[in-house]
Structure 1
């Protein structure tokens, strides 16, 4: 059965779960929908891992996560490496922080027990290794004490993270805030969302970008490649367009790659970011690829994104 190509998902994450009853109990997982996944872990919806099913440890909370993965497989690779840092080949033996805690009966290495410090230290390490360092990843923290522990580790780490990896915080509002939720992860539409409930779960943040590119490609206004100068024949190549508002700078994906890599071009590595040669605004490679994959593979997703809301019935309006 052939594998169907899909666009880069709007969100895919690897998260850190913590018991609100016993903070030492931690779990690592991956999901494209953190709010739904949290409900599963807490027994409010079907699914969830057996290791989080103990009622004495519920409710659980997501205290941090990494977003920006280009798909499920990429997130699963990162999740496995973070869960098994003593085995992961993504971590060079000379850089390994965590070692196995003995051996199992079958002779395989036993996974060491997770602690917040071990997870954060290995997270920092994984974000620096070649396998993941060039991905358009973001690190989110939703608990102040977890973010403080992260900062403490970063201050002692031998190497800093790349500047392109953003570290974001979104803590629970103070009790004095009228928009405050009653529980750490309450999902209430009448209150200001925060934490995992404020994360974009669909392509809505890309609506303006997609609207612009649809106009360019539908009306065949590609023009000449910003890199090599060749005319871009409509529908005959992989093209990408600058994401900045008002800029229609378009070119071959390979030319964009060479431009963003600069001196690194030709080294067979993934670009990270740079500036548009036309508007001089910032261009993130991950944004270019997400829009292009949506345009090429996500016809249904684009139709849903750009679908105009239905007008209210005149009779219904007159009765209100």
Structure 2
């Protein structure tokens, strides 16, 4: 029985793990749920990896990750390439930063040992190669020294990173901040990442109303009437705009004057409201609308209030 197609997941990441006991011990993995995965690596939940199970290296911490992968397979491709940059076919041979100097018994190149510098340089490289350069990815750092290493490498890199790739930081609060605040500490690092579709609720609510009442109107790019249920349509992600159009028209519009050079758009401006739109956000909403009915229903399901228990006192 074929597996029904699923919507683009709310989060899928490739992460960098570092031992808090020995900072030279590093691990690269992928997951849709970084907090849960970190618990597994630290033995607080079932699962994890054999390479992170040794007690002398625990606890581990996630010091950085790349998010925005459209699914598990996409994340696994990036993870494998980052773990094996010396042989990955995603990296042209003349662009390799990491080169194997030893071989295994079977004659295959032995993977060089990871370092923060090698991982950061190869993340930068993979975000530039044709296989991943136009994906809607975001880079996150959760340790100041790792972010400084990233900035240092970016300043010396021979080729710049695409400007539309966001680089976010979320460091642990300082002891001074913790001592002066009386409020509950805000989640930081991987615990501040959205694990569900909640950030898209307003966007989905708008398109839910638009498509349910057949208010698609005319394509904002070509002007043709959009017949309900007879095509793939995308809607502007800006809150006050309902500009809707054919997927093919949006693609041509966002690719601009060089549609033949690239296949996947990145971002641009809505022709109706002139606000910025991102192709990845629009595709995530469309996939959720078409393939994620259960996820949408869960998003708008009202939580039942628990009834207060009534206790009776004996005379």
Normalising by the residue count of structure 2, what TM-score does the alignment of the two structures yield?
Answer: 0.95
- Residue 77 of structure 1 and its aligned partner are, at CA, apart by 0.3
- Residue aligned with 2:248, SS: helix
Give the C-alpha shift of residue 176 in structure 1.
1.9
Change (3 A) 1:159 1:15: same
Structure 1 CA distance for aligned equivalents of residues 249 and 221 of structure 2: 5
Distance (whole Å) between structure 2 residues aligned to residue 74 and residue 134 of structure 1: 13
Q: Per-residue CA shift, 1:140-192, capped at 9, x if unaligned?
A: 00000000011111110011111110110000000122389xxxxxxxx9531
1:42 aligned residue: 42
Q: Partner of 2:58 in structure 1?
A: 58
1: CA distance, partners of 2:113 / 2:42? 22
The alignment of Structure 1 onto Structure 2 pairs a total of residues equal to: 308
Matched, 1:89 2:89: yes
Q: Residues 211-250 of structure 1 correspond to what in structure 2 (within 5 A)? A: 211-250=205-244
CA gap of 1:179–1:61, structure 2 versus 1, over 3 A, is farther
Which residue pairs with 2:295 in the alignment? Answer: 301
Match of 1:150 in 2: 150
Aligned match of 1:195: 189
Shift of 1:4: 2.1
1:31 Cα deviation from its structure 2 partner: 0.2
Structure 2 runs not aligned, ≥5 long: 311-315
Match of 1:278 among 254, 272, 281: 272
Map of 1:183 onto structure 2: none
Report if the CA contact (8 A) 1:179-1:192 is conserved: no
Deviation, 1:316, is 7.0
Deviation at 1:269, TM superposition (A): 1.2
Mapped partners of 2:184, 2:34: distance in 1: 20
Question: 2:165 matched to which residue of 1?
Answer: 165
Report Cα offsets for 1:220-269 as digits up to 9, x if no partner.
Answer: 00001112211111111100000001100001111100000011224451
- For the residues of structure 2 that align with 1:90 and 1:15, how far apart are their CA atoms? 19
Q: CA deviation at 1:312?
A: 5.8
CA-based RMSD of the aligned residues comes to: 1.6
Q: Distance in 1 between matches of 2:84 and 2:167?
A: 23
Q: How far off is 1:95 after superposition?
A: 0.6
Q: Please tell me whether the aligned partners of residues 236 and 242 of structure 2 are also in contact (alpha carbons under 8 angstroms).
A: yes
Structure 1 stretches lacking a partner, 5+ long: 181-188
8 Å contact 2:255–2:262 — kept in the other structure?
no
For residues 149 and 279 of structure 1, the distance between their equivalents in structure 2, rounded to whole angstroms, comes to 39
CA distance, structure 1, for counterparts of residue 240 and residue 303 of structure 2: 25
* Counterpart Cα distance in 2 of 1:101 and 1:218: 60
Preserved contact between residue 141 and residue 168 of structure 1 (Cα < 8 Å): yes
Give yes or no for contact 1:18–1:60 (8 Å, CA) kept in 2.
Answer: yes
Q: TM-score normalized by structure 1?
A: 0.93
